[in-house]
Structure 1
Amino acid sequence: MTKTVILGVIGSDAHVVGITILERAFEAAGFDVVNLGVQTSQQDFADAAIDHDAEAVLVSSLYGHAKQDCEGFHELLLEEGLEDVTTYIGGNLAVGQDDFEETRRFFRNLGFDRVFDSETDPEEAIEALQADLDMRSSEDERERKTIEA
């Protein structure tokens, strides 16, 4: 079964090259990719995840204002019933980003499952998502078996 991912650039960011590369890489890896493009609102990500029954939402930002753009994002996903959707963010996430570990902690505290810097190879993100979704599938199977028993 093909897994669906939602991909887009959040907020007022208009950097399209990175998500185009990611779209092609994830499609080549066998994912069904819905590319929302640039300047995507939080609500657009949530709506697309619902409409396409997505397993993951991949947020990109290169202009350095992702901290502001992502405030409240996971609260919105919870309100929309998307608590089981895996969420990733990557790019140049903060202006003057000197200590990426600090930036990673910030976004993990916001609720993102994984945080990548702008130098991350798409294959690394693909391998991480395959592992995360396989793990989640295994958990879902165990849960269904427990409920059936």
Structure 2
Amino acid sequence: MAATVTLGVIGSDAHVVGITILEQALSAAGFEVHNLGVQTSQEEFAESAATHDADAVLVSSLYGHAEQDCRGFHETLQEAGVDTVTYIGGNLAVGQSDFEETRRTFRDMGFDRVFDSETSPEEAIRALEMDCAHSERDTERVTA
């Protein structure tokens, strides 16, 4: 069974090229992709993830204001009953000079994986395959 992902660009960001490339790469790799497009609210991510029983939620942001757009994101997912792996990637902070600091910020916000704008779709796909396989093993253990 193919893993299901919810993908979109959060907040007021209108950059579409990255998620289009990622959607195509994920689909080619066998994922079921629900692309929410650009300027997506936290609530839209949560609703889609809940509706489609997403194995992962992928958030993209390129305009540098992801920290403010993602405040409370995991609480929004939790309120919608969504408990899944979360990824964020792109140009996440204006004037970002040390990506490891940015990574820590988003990990502290609850994101499982944080990628910079130079990350290839293949790298994200490898991480997703590993995380989704791990999640399926956990489910099997619980239901067995």
The TM-score normalised by the length of structure 2 is 0.98
Determine the structure 1 residue equivalent to 2:91.
92
Determine the structure 1 residue equivalent to 2:43.
43
The residue identity in structure 2 corresponding to 1:110 is M
The alignment of Structure 1 onto Structure 2 pairs a total of residues equal to 144
Percent of aligned pairs sharing the same letter: 70
Q: What is the DSSP-based 3-state SS (H/G/I as helix, E as strand, rest coil) of the residue aligned with 1:19?
A: helix
What residue ranges of structure 1 are gaps of 5+ in the alignment? none
Question: Residues 91-111 of structure 1, C-alpha deviation per residue, up to 9 Å, x if partnerless?
Answer: 000000100000000000111
Determine the structure 2 residue equivalent to 1:123.
122
Query: How far does residue 144 in structure 1 lie from its aligned partner after superposition?
Result: 1.3
Equivalent positions of 1:1-149 (< 5 A) are: 1-83=1-83, 85-145=84-144
What residue ranges of structure 2 are gaps of 5+ in the alignment? none
User: For 2:122 and 2:13, how far apart are their aligned partners in 1?
Assistant: 23
The TM-score normalised by the length of structure 1 is 0.95
Question: Any runs of at least 4 consecutive aligned residues in structure 1 with deviations exceeding 2 A, and if so which?
Answer: none
Query: How far does residue 142 in structure 1 lie from its aligned partner after superposition?
Result: 1.0
Query: How far does residue 140 in structure 1 lie from its aligned partner after superposition?
Result: 1.1
User: For 1:32 and 1:139, how far apart are their aligned partners in 2?
Assistant: 21
Q: What is the DSSP-based 3-state SS (H/G/I as helix, E as strand, rest coil) of the residue aligned with 2:54?
A: coil
User: For 2:143 and 2:27, how far apart are their aligned partners in 1?
Assistant: 29
User: For 1:110 and 1:57, how far apart are their aligned partners in 2?
Assistant: 14
Q: CA RMSD in A?
A: 0.6
The residue identity in structure 2 corresponding to 1:35 is N
Query: How far does residue 64 in structure 1 lie from its aligned partner after superposition?
Result: 0.0
Q: What is the DSSP-based 3-state SS (H/G/I as helix, E as strand, rest coil) of the residue aligned with 2:118?
A: coil
Larger radius of gyration: 1
Query: How far does residue 139 in structure 1 lie from its aligned partner after superposition?
Result: 1.1
Question: Residues 96-140 of structure 1, C-alpha deviation per residue, up to 9 Å, x if partnerless?
Answer: 010000000000011111000000000000000000010111111
User: For 1:24 and 1:141, how far apart are their aligned partners in 2?
Assistant: 29
Question: Residues 24-70 of structure 1, C-alpha deviation per residue, up to 9 Å, x if partnerless?
Answer: 00000000101100000000000011111111110000000000000
User: For 1:108 and 1:2, how far apart are their aligned partners in 2?
Assistant: 26
User: For 1:19 and 1:58, how far apart are their aligned partners in 2?
Assistant: 9
The residue identity in structure 2 corresponding to 1:42 is Q
Query: How far does residue 21 in structure 1 lie from its aligned partner after superposition?
Result: 0.2
